[in-house]
Homo-oligomer: A and B are copies of this chain.
Amino acid sequence: MTMSAARPGATDGASASSPARYEDAVLGFRNHWYPAMFSSDVRETEIKTLRVLGEDILLKRVDGRVYGVRDECLHRGFQLSKKPECFTKNTVTCWFHGFTYNLADGGLVGIPSDPDSKLIGKLKLRSYPIEEHKGMLFVFIGDIEPPPLSDDLPPEFLAEDMHVVPFHQQEVASNWRIAADSASELNHTFIHKRDALLDYWRQPLPFAEIPRGNNPYEGWILHEGPGFKGFTDAFGDAIPVFEYKFECDGEVGVVRAAYDPAVEPGSVAFGNMEATLALPCGLRIGPWGANPGDPESANYWHYEWYVPVDETHHRYLIAWGSKVANAEEALRVEHDVRTRWSYLEYEGFNASDITANEGSQRAYAEDGYEFGEKENLSRSDGYVLTWRRIAAKHNRGLQVRYGGKK
């Protein structure tokens, strides 16, 4: 993978690779891999654009491989994607003055008005390492030699027998950390208590969980060794909450989950599920059952990401994976997800997450909002604190606005 050169005469928008504070990471963590798009979004010869962590990238697929370069000419800043010209398959020529770049490494290969310029072969447009796996494109945003992609993914995503079906992506109007914080804890499932998916599934998803012991942090598996960094919450380690009672001025309020395992048998074993949140911003949760009411069919893993776009938006991507033994099983999973779960899961469940995250953005964006100060109001908020602590400890640097260092 070729590393991109810094712009001439410019200190780049990159920081060092020392870990950044979570509070500061409004644009995300630098020097990580991020999912960018689905493979099917970029067909051969096609040019697409992407904004990730505040950087604008031009993508093109050439002979099957996708390349990415900064979407801005070195010369006078013209947005290359506005009118891209490709006079050979692996180059992009700036429409403005004809500066031409090699897509593979961003290298300048020609200038119409200065054909013998010494800068040719020397200057480089920033180029972005890109890898493609399981129907998804991953882009590395950083300055260091990229680590293995698997270091930046939730577990088993790249496993050979994992068949993955990416099925939803959209931009969400909230900072990425609101989504990551929510993903770290099971108490936000209060939003899902009436979601259509649960009705279909006969799935006893609680709307909160209470730590069993006095120490809310015990029972979690921290991943701080080699490979991906993050933590796993095994649902069975806490007490699931299916009923919520409170009293106010003599009146009692009662809220119950749509599906209650105490009175409705035959459901998936909730206690076997787990959620793993991994740096920089990916979640795996499962296993989910393929057949309503059949715990034995629990063979689906839900993967999702909250990729920083800018200070107030993130890109939400969802993929489902299932372990398969052969191509026939993979095809069955493919059909099953695309014809059934893609709709049930998004419309009937994850759309609520988007509402929740967007509904918190105003408070986060307010001048003076003390980031993270409020989360420690219930014992279960230890989830969020733990995620932030691990994220702050293991990230590889702060992303700052291009040019923002000066």
Contacts and interface: CB of A to CB of B under 8 A. Distances in A.
5 smallest CB-CB distances across A and B, nearest first, come from A368-B403, A77-B363, A110-B246, A113-B208, A87-B253
Interface string A97-127: 1111010100001111111010100010000
Contacts of A113: 187, 208-210, 241, 378-380
Interface stretch (A78-86, A143-151, A281-289): A78-86
A252 interface: yes
A343 interface: no
Interface stretch (A19-27, A68-76, A258-266, A295-303): A68-76
A367 B90 CA distance: 31
A99 B301 CA distance: 30
Given A74-B374, A79-B362, A87-B246, 16 more contacts: A8-B374, A74-B377, A77-B364, A78-B359, A78-B363, A79-B363, A82-B355, A88-B251, A112-B207, A112-B255, A113-B208, A113-B380, A114-B377, A114-B378, A115-B246, A368-B403
A190 interface: yes
Interface residues of A, number: 88
B188 A97 contact: yes
A200 interface: no
Interface string A49-75: 000000010000000000000001011
Contacts of A375: 75-76
Interface string A370-383: 10011101111100
B366 A403 contact: yes
Interface string A236-262: 000001001111110111110000000
A102 B8 CA distance: 55
A251 B401 CA distance: 36
A332 interface: no
Contacts of A367: 401-404
A220 interface: no
B109 A248 contact: yes
A191 B93 CA distance: 11
Interface in A371-406: 373-375, 377-381, 401-406
